[in-house]
Amino acid sequence: MADQKKNPDHRYVNDLRRIDYAQSVSQRLRNQIVPIGLSVVFLSIIALFAGTQLTGISEEPLLIAVAAVIGGYMALNIGANDVANNMGPAVGGKVLTVFWAIVIAAVCESAGALLAGGDVVKTVSKGIISPGDDISVVDFRFLMLSALLSAAIWINLATFLGAPVSTTHSIVGGVLGAGIAAAGVGLVNWSTMSAIAASWVISPVFGALVAAALLFVIKAKVLNVDDRIPAAKRWVPVLIGLMASAFVAYMAMKGLKKIWKPSLVEIIIYACLGFAAAFLAARPYIAKRIVGLKNTKKDMNQLFNVPLIIGVAFLSFAHGANDVANAVGPLAAIVSTVGEGAEFSSQVSIPLWVMVVGAFGIALGLGLFGPKLISIVGEKITRLNAPRAYCVALSSAVTVLIASALGLPVSSTHIAVGAVFGVGFLREYVENPNRRRLRQGSKLNTTADEAFASSKAERKRFLVRRRFVISIAAAWVVTVPASALLAALIYALTRLF
């Protein structure tokens, strides 16, 4: 009472705090409820639309509606989780805001899915199962539904926990688990599974090594020299030409494979032409752009902004063209079994309306739920800037090209995240000026307090957050078995009820 008499405004301050707390809680709830509500509306529209597509030629509109909803749910989760790997570094490097990253990614992902998405999904079963006489049409439908739903649920859980995972590995696990539940282990192609398991190590290691090597070159040739301006004029056009050639080859081999299938010789020729054209165009651009810049690392970083934006846009286009099949491939397989004939195949054509479901689902999932993973990949694993993010983007394209040439299975998610770790660990090794001094100083500690303070100071200089290394690696290892077990359970339940 005495305190309140001395401070008559005390109760008004408390009231304002209560109001502020209530508003913050309301805002958090709104931020959670609105995206979920829009997602429900999107899936409801899909159900109504899909149920009318095969009216008159199919007696199973409910099956199509359910499959379409699950496919749309999968597409939402791909947008929320997988797309962030391309855009996260650009946001973390302060080259793009989250809003513009979402806009660019949504446009490019949709364009890739609709313009260059595979007209034939040769990997509906991802090569994991070999359907034949052991599995009926009905069982095949439930197998695909179970695989799709289990993959979507797992990716949703991973997004909630803040772990970027491979959507391809998720659907692989789903097909594996449901296939075993449907017809036993004899249905599984175990050599393909072994290659996929090997990619858990190959993908991130390749991505990390390529990104670290690129960053090392940029530091040695541009950022860590005394005269940065003439060095940038000489080397940045070369780096831009390298990115152009890599993306020409990347788009030829991966992004445009539906509408353009050049030979290996043609790919090499076009890649060389891409390098020459980009190099010649970049020289006057860099010469003009560098006027007025200071001889500092911060100013040199700006030269990588535009090439980085173009690079991540191409990555998003290629991702939409390739990974839309993860969302709608099983849905297309189910659609192919209804109507006249009711036969199934490991290769199916994707109807346009199914592609639209995948494309818009990915874009919507990115816009509604993508910022969380964008923040983790781009900002929380390690500190990025434009050159580091540029190395991550270029590493993604180069690593896919190298792996494709060698016939190695790789995950674009693992590559991108591995590249982020690669640039972070390189910075720890190269940029920590106190590394040797700290190690020597630890020998001179005379008390326990001094030793503790020294070790604490050394820990603070870690430039990669170790907890993300452990949590993300664990999520990668668990993805296939977790989605497989979930798919087997869902398949058993669907066949039971």
Cα–Cα distance between 289 and 351 in angstroms, integer?
46
pTM of this structure: 0.80
Q: What angle do CA 252, 71, 484 make, to 5 degrees?
A: 90
Cα–Cα distance between 420 and 388 in angstroms, integer?
8
Answer yes or no: are the C-beta atoms of 361 and 327 closer than 8 Å.
Answer: yes
pLDDT for 47 equals 86
Place of tokens 């997988």: 82
Burial of 353 (0-12, 13-18, 19+ CB in 10 A): middle
Answer yes or no: are the C-beta atoms of 360 and 103 closer than 8 Å.
Answer: no
pLDDT for 432 equals 62
CB atoms within 10 A of CB 388: 27
pLDDT for 16 equals 58
pLDDT for 208 equals 92
| Partners of 188 in beta bridges | 129
Place of tokens 């940065």: 228
pLDDT for 388 equals 92
What is the residue-level pLDDT of the chain in tens, covering all 497 positions? 455 455 555 555 565 566 665 556 556 656 678 888 889 999 999 888 876 765 554 557 778 888 889 989 998 998 888 887 888 888 888 888 888 888 888 888 888 877 766 544 444 555 566 555 567 777 888 888 899 999 999 999 999 888 889 888 888 888 889 888 887 777 677 777 777 777 778 888 888 999 999 999 999 999 999 999 999 999 999 999 998 998 888 777 765 666 667 888 888 999 999 999 999 999 999 999 998 889 898 899 999 998 899 888 888 887 787 777 777 777 777 777 765 455 555 555 667 777 888 888 888 898 888 888 888 888 888 888 999 999 998 888 888 777 777 666 677 888 889 999 999 999 888 766 554 444 444 445 555 555 555 554 444 457 788 888 888 888 888 998 999 999 999 999 988 87
End-to-end CA distance of the chain: 66
Burial of 177 (0-12, 13-18, 19+ CB in 10 A): buried
Cα–Cα distance between 183 and 448 in angstroms, integer?
63
- Encode the chain in three state secondary structure: CHHHHHCCCHHHHHHHHHHHHHHHHHHHHHHHHHHHHHHHHHHHHHHHHHHHHCECCECCHHHHHHHHHHHHHHHHHHHHHCCHHHHHHHHHCCCCCHHHHHHHHHHHHHHHHHHHCCCEECCCCCCCECCCCCCCHHHHHHHHHHHHHHHHHHHHHHHHHCCCCCHHHHHHHHHHHHHHHHHCHHHECHHHHHHHHHHHHHHHHHHHHHHHHHHHHHHHHHHCCCCHHHHHHHHHHHHHHHHHHHHHHHHHHHHCCCCCCCCHHHHHHHHHHHHHHHHHHHHHHHHHHCCCCCCCHHHHHHHHHHHHHHHHHHHHHHHHHHHHHHHHHHHHHHHCCCCCCCCCCCCEECCHHHHHHHHHHHHHHHHHHHHHHHHHHHHHCECCCHHHHHHHHHHHHHHHHHHHHHCCCCCHHHHHHHHHHHHHHHHHHHHCCCHHHHHHHHHHCCCHHHHHHHHHHHHHCCCECHHHHHHHHHHHHHHHHHHHHHHHHHHHHHHHC
pLDDT for 130 equals 57
Burial code of 178-194, b = ≥16 C-beta within 10 A, e = fewer? bbbbbbeeebbbeebbe
pLDDT for 33 equals 84
